[in-house]
Chains A and B, each alone.
Chain A
Amino acid sequence: MATQASRIAGRLMLSPVVVLLFLWMIVPLGMTIYFSFLRFNLLMPGTEEFTGFENYSYFFTDPAFWPALVNTLVLVLGVLVITVVGGVALAVLLDQPMWGQGIVRILVIAPFFVMPSVSALVWKNMLMNPVNGLFAALARGLGLEPIDFFADAPLASIIAIVAWQWLPFATLILFTAMQSLDREQMEAAEMDGAGPIWRFVHLTIPHLMRAATVVVLIQTIFLLSVFAEILVTTNGGPGTASTTLTFLVYMQSMLQFDVGLGSAGGIVAVILANIVAIFLMRMIGKNLEA
């Protein structure tokens, strides 16, 4: 039963956010679309001209494009599989009665608060370095040859680092969802002679599906933009072995100053992210009605 006055006041309070977000979205995006149709290099100012879809055809035929697209998908899917499977396992484990659960939870979520450049450097130098790293020391202790992770398996190494950062997030959300599991239903099933595996498959998994979907969608948005981890560890290499779409666009626009080409790549990334976003919005929208 809002009064007319409070309605108007409400509009006034709302408008700054709406105007700012609208400008924030539409101005840069409009500029990116515009640049993507121009021949525009920061090193050659004043030579801008309209080129139609030339940047897009350059971008799609760039030898780095397909590897970057594949690497992006492998990175996102790899991290998702590790974090969701690991997160479900950890959520179920943390849900059991134990001593010191509070401290265990604090230890498990800690990596989420480590800034990406720090975690990348810590893994790169202190753990994975083939000469001075801890893994190399362990390998030598076992009489094995130390692995040069970032030379031999660059993408897998980055996946490991990013998964380590996001596993806590998945665990925390799935664990939160575990709290609302119907315990009486669980006990009833147990009384009826259902074993732990049957209960996990038929009761726990369906209950966690919704939270798992949210984890997948939100992580995908963030994972498409993974940047610092690549910049700090491999710089996209060797060759294009660990170049993702985000990193490719960064290289084209910030290192080669090819604004037109970078913008075309940026628009491709936007379209990819939008496909994911549509699903996420539906999920959250449904929840709003509930």
Chain B
Amino acid sequence: MAREASKGHKAAVTVLAWGVALLIFFPILWTFLISFKTEGEAINSHPSFLFFEWTLENYETVNQRSDYLAHFWNSVVISLGSTVLGLIIAVPAAWSMAFVPGKRTKDLLMWMLSTKMLPAVGVLVPIYLLARDAGLLDTKTGLVIVLTMVNLPIIVWMLYTYFKEIPGEILEAARMDGATLSSEILYVLTPMAVPGIASTLLLNVILAWNESFWTLNLTAASAAPLTAFIASYSSPEGLFYAKLSAASTMAIAPIMILGWFSQKQLVRGLTFGAVK
């Protein structure tokens, strides 16, 4: 850059940016710190930032409660299950729209997007009743199905924007060389499509992990993922800050780490390719 960024300017920007960033991050940091405090220390009216007796007992307690691990496992099954199921349905569709576009492909894509605009509350009652009648209420299967459908438009769109960037000429060349449709998919397309599929998988696991409308409304106890389990702490009785913090830290840590790897895909996936 021609503009001379003076050391002083850079230092000022650095201080300001770090200050703002730490402020925004603070609630997460604070939860993390409280998770290492004793319950008494956690509600101390003169809270200590770093100089307290660090303890791991909250994590031990939370992990000993078998129900925490069960809900954690529910989150894993539901978020991974719905994403993988969605990918199985969406990959062929996105492939065909990107490489064999028809006259109505664009309309079809817009229509898929429009299903995402339907507010969840508008179909809450029928989905609840259908799930109840099918015996899928408070089951992992039920949530996998619902979350697959909720995120399917995003999955198709993301895959489509990735697949579209694969040059079509490569396919033509493969066809010229006599490649069949299946070998075309297996040897030419798959290697080029894997990064896009991986990004889509990552973003959708994050979205499904944090989904909080259907997971709260369609589960009671046995299939509740972490979103619903932690929401159940909202009742005042038996509220333990330190243990709540430990449970929260464990609930958000894995997904935050995944999220940091997926910053770019996040923009692309959530804006349906409108901002890259």
Contact = CB atoms under 8 A, between A and B. Distances in A.
Interface of A: 1-2, 5-7, 9-11, 13-14, 16-18, 20-21, 24-25, 27-29, 31-32, 35, 90, 93-94, 96-101, 103-127, 131-132, 134, 137, 140, 164, 167-169, 172-173, 176-177, 183, 187, 190, 210-211, 214, 218, 221, 224-225, 227-228, 231-233, 245-246, 249-250, 253-254, 259, 262-263, 265-267, 269-270, 272-274, 276-277, 280-281, 283-285, 287-288
Given A125-B244, A132-B43, A29 B123 contact: yes
Q: Classify chain B: how many residues form its interface, as a range.
A: 35 or more
Contacts of B251: 115, 118
Interface string B117-132: 1111111111111100
B85 to A, nearest CB: 11
A5 B181 contact: yes
A142 B259 CA distance: 37
Contacts of A93: 13, 16-17, 20
A112 B267 CA distance: 12
A219 B89 CA distance: 27
B74 to A, nearest CB: 13
A277 B114 contact: yes
Contacts of A284: 110, 113, 272-274
A172 B252 contact: no
Nearest to A114: B252
A276 to B, nearest CB: 8
Interface string B89-112: 110110111011010001011101
B227 interface: yes
Contact of A140 (B17, B20, B45, B252): B45
Contact of A273 (B93, B119, B230): B119
Contact of A94 (B17, B28, B149): B17
Contacts of B173: none
Nearest to A266: B122
Nearest to B120: A225
Contacts of A169: 266, 270
Nearest to B27: A122
Contacts of A228: 212-213, 216, 227, 231
Given A21-B112, A90-B20, A104-B21, A137 B13 contact: no
B139 interface: no
A246 B234 CA distance: 19
B61 interface: no
A7 B43 CA distance: 66
Interface string B219-231: 0000000111011
A108 B258 CA distance: 15
Interface stretch (B1-9, B52-60, B187-195): B1-9
B30 A126 contact: yes
B276 to A, nearest CB: 7
B42 to A, nearest CB: 8
Contact of B263 (A25, A105, A134): A105
B115 A21 contact: yes
Nearest to B95: A13
A111 B24 contact: yes
Nearest to B92: A13
A111 B274 contact: no
B193 to A, nearest CB: 14
A13 B91 CA distance: 9
A98 B24 contact: no
Nearest to A260: B125
Contact of A28 (B1, B2, B126, B172): B126
B97 A119 contact: no
B24 A263 contact: no
B118 A25 contact: yes
A60 B110 CA distance: 32
Contacts of B255: 113, 115
Contacts of B213: 225, 227-228
Contact of A118 (B2, B97, B248): B248
Given A96-B13, A187-B2, A232 B231 contact: yes
A97 B96 contact: no
A65 B112 CA distance: 31
B206 interface: yes
B264 to A, nearest CB: 8
B162 to A, nearest CB: 15
A273 B118 contact: yes
A35 B126 contact: yes
Given A11-B96, A20-B149, A228-B216, A110 B274 contact: no
A109 B46 CA distance: 29
Nearest to B150: A24
